[in-house]
Amino acid sequence: MNIKPSTPFPTAALIDGQWVNSPKTFAVLDPATGEKIADVPDLTPEDTKRAIDAAAKAFPAWAAKPAKDRAVILRRWFDLIIAETESLAQLMTAEQGKPIAEARGEVAYGASFIEWFAEEGKRAYGHTIPTTVASRRYVTIKQPIGVCAAITPWNFPIAMITRKVGCALAAGCTIVVKPSEETPLSAIALAKLAVDAGVPAGVFNVITTLDGPGCGKVLTADDRVRKLTFTGSTEVGRILYRQSADTIKKLTLELGGNAPLIVFDDADLQQAVAGTMASKFRNAGQTCVCANRILVQAGIFDKFVASLKEAAGKLVVAPGREATSTIGPLINGDAIEKVKSLLSDAVSHGAKIEMGGKPDDHGALFFSPTIVTGITDKMAIATEEIFGPVASIFRFETEAEAIRIANDTPFGLAAYLFSQNLSRAWRVAEALEAGMVGVNEGVFSNEVVPFGGIKQSGLGREGAQEGLDEYLETKFICLGGI
């Protein structure tokens, strides 16, 4: 069955509750076909400034609303998103390329953050602190931090927005979002449903632009923006971190990863293969938590590679709108070039292509699921994010060696290990330098657990109780003269 993209949603930006067009536009392309889906406004830095003005104006009333009242609106937003699952999924697949089944899954996953934070916002508790002086009492209260800015990537066009906006709005903040120029339509669709749900003008603004750096400069320079939340490359994260220094903004940065996935001799082979498939090939390998380095112990190595080949052989490369597709196109030509160059570097240093290794003839942006063995830490593929459907496999002998290789990276986002030995699983999970560790699981993110990295993978956590705190300030009140 072929599913056609339908776009019942606007193609304009949203500032202060108004749909905004501009004489200058840019095209959003379907990566599966290269065809244009829509034109969206290419807004200027002045427009970003207007969006901040709107968010600042809307902040006092939104912050003053009881969390319970904000939750009613957020719950309506959640319900509308769920009701529109099919049209949102089709839109996402059209502009991002992922298989339609994954797009539907992302709508549910993305919506879950709104449902969760609508409730969690009611639990922004402070403390009473036993006094040190008889005439005083001590309490803390939590207050929304203020106007926030979010800059988001293209790989999860809905979830990377709801994870930030759902939380910010629940906390009582207002927000200006700049979605990726590759996938602005999903962001606009979310904003439309937010308006329909009753989110007041100025509380949630969307700036579509090709000028990410120009928009980023305005967002970071403005003192009224008290928090910046960014998901994207470490390189751009560093720029935004630097730019935020002058106004001492609070930051959440979800940056690149280089996830190790370790398969020990005592792993359950089926579990390890299923976990590797899910971690590696989801979204055609284009997630920051995808297994980037698969480390397999010598005793299980041959069996694991053979089983992984068998499982990867069942993947269906096809445009995401085709119901059977499990591997869609990569996002753009640069992504294809990067995968090709990492593979040719690896092969030139002695790696062996076990499967795939070449573009797929469905179109310019499709790449065959690939398995490559003989990877060493001398190869670029071991240190750079692949962001494509390429499983790169190291061989190791001892637990200590696996931990050393796994931690030999400036990144620390996700890590995975497969072992049936509880002591080993616990020991290695503790030793891995990562913000998240999956034990016998290849995919684990959801709204109730904290997502985020250590080292150069970023700052802060999204989702869970920790996520709400990122949008709140703690105020200590000392009540004297008692």
Nearest to ligand ADP of 181, 266 (CB atom): 181
Selecting among 254, 385, 447, 470, the annotated active-site residue is: 254
Of 86-94, 212-220, 290-298, 408-416, the segment contacting ligand ADP by CB under 6 A is 212-220
Strand, helix or coil at 332?
Answer: coil
Nearest to ligand ADP of 110, 153 (CB atom): 153
Q: How far is CA 377 from CA 65, 295, 305, in A?
A: 54, 11, 19
Of 52-60, 150-158, 270-278, 302-310, the segment contacting ligand ADP by CB under 6 A is 150-158
Per-residue DSSP letter, 199? P
Residue from 44, 233, 271, 376 binding ligand ADP (CB under 6 A) = 233
Residue from 212, 359, 363, 450 binding ligand ADP (CB under 6 A) = 212
- Determine how β-strand 18-20 pairs with β-strand 225-231: unpaired
Residue from 40, 151, 290, 295 binding ligand ADP (CB under 6 A) = 151
Residue from 88, 236, 289, 434 binding ligand ADP (CB under 6 A) = 236
Site for ligand ADP in 167-186 (CB under 6 A): 178, 180-181
Strands (E), 30-81: 36-41
Phi-psi map region of 463: left, alpha, beta (phi>0 left; psi -120 to 50 alpha): left
- Using rule CB under 6 A, residue 213 touches ligand ADP: yes
Site for ligand ADP in 258-297 (CB under 6 A): none
Taken in order 153, 154, 160, 165, the sign of the CA dihedral is positive
Q: How far is the CB of 461 from ligand ADP (least distance, A)?
A: 19
In one-letter notation, the amino acid at residue 11 is: T
Strand, helix or coil at 46?
Answer: helix
CA distance 452 to 462: 6
In one-letter notation, the amino acid at residue 396 is: F
Contact 350, 344 (CB under 8 A): no
Nearest to ligand ADP of 80, 218 (CB atom): 218
CA distance 475 to 13: 35
Of 151-159, 304-312, 367-375, 460-468, the segment contacting ligand ADP by CB under 6 A is 151-159
Contact 103, 5 (CB under 8 A): no
Residue nearest to ligand ADP (CB): 216
Of 16-24, 62-70, 130-138, 231-239, the segment contacting ligand ADP by CB under 6 A is 231-239
Nearest to ligand ADP of 44, 233 (CB atom): 233
In one-letter notation, the amino acid at residue 69 is: D
What is the CB neighbour count within 10 angstroms for residue 2?
Answer: 8
Q: How far is the CB of 343 from ligand ADP (least distance, A)?
A: 19
Residue from 10, 110, 144, 153 binding ligand ADP (CB under 6 A) = 153
Q: How far is the CB of 35 from ligand ADP (least distance, A)?
A: 21
Q: How far is the CB of 335 from ligand ADP (least distance, A)?
A: 9
CA distance 418 to 344: 29
Q: How far is the CB of 370 from ligand ADP (least distance, A)?
A: 20
Nearest to ligand ADP of 207, 432 (CB atom): 207
Burial of 264 (0-12, 13-18, 19+ CB in 10 A): buried
Contact 415, 424 (CB under 8 A): no
254 has catalytic annotation? yes
Q: How far is the CB of 73 from ligand ADP (least distance, A)?
A: 26
CA distance 442 to 270: 12
b/e burial code for range 26-56 (CB count within 10 A of at least 16 → b): bebbbbbbeeebbebbbbbbebbbbbbbbbb
Taking residues 108 to 147 in sequence order and writing x for each that binds ligand ADP by CB under 6 A, - otherwise, the string is ----------------------------------------
Nearest to ligand ADP of 229, 297 (CB atom): 229
Residues at the site binding ligand ADP, with contacts judged by CB under 6 A:
151-154, 178, 180-181, 212-213, 216, 232-233, 236, 239-240
Report the catalytic residues: 254
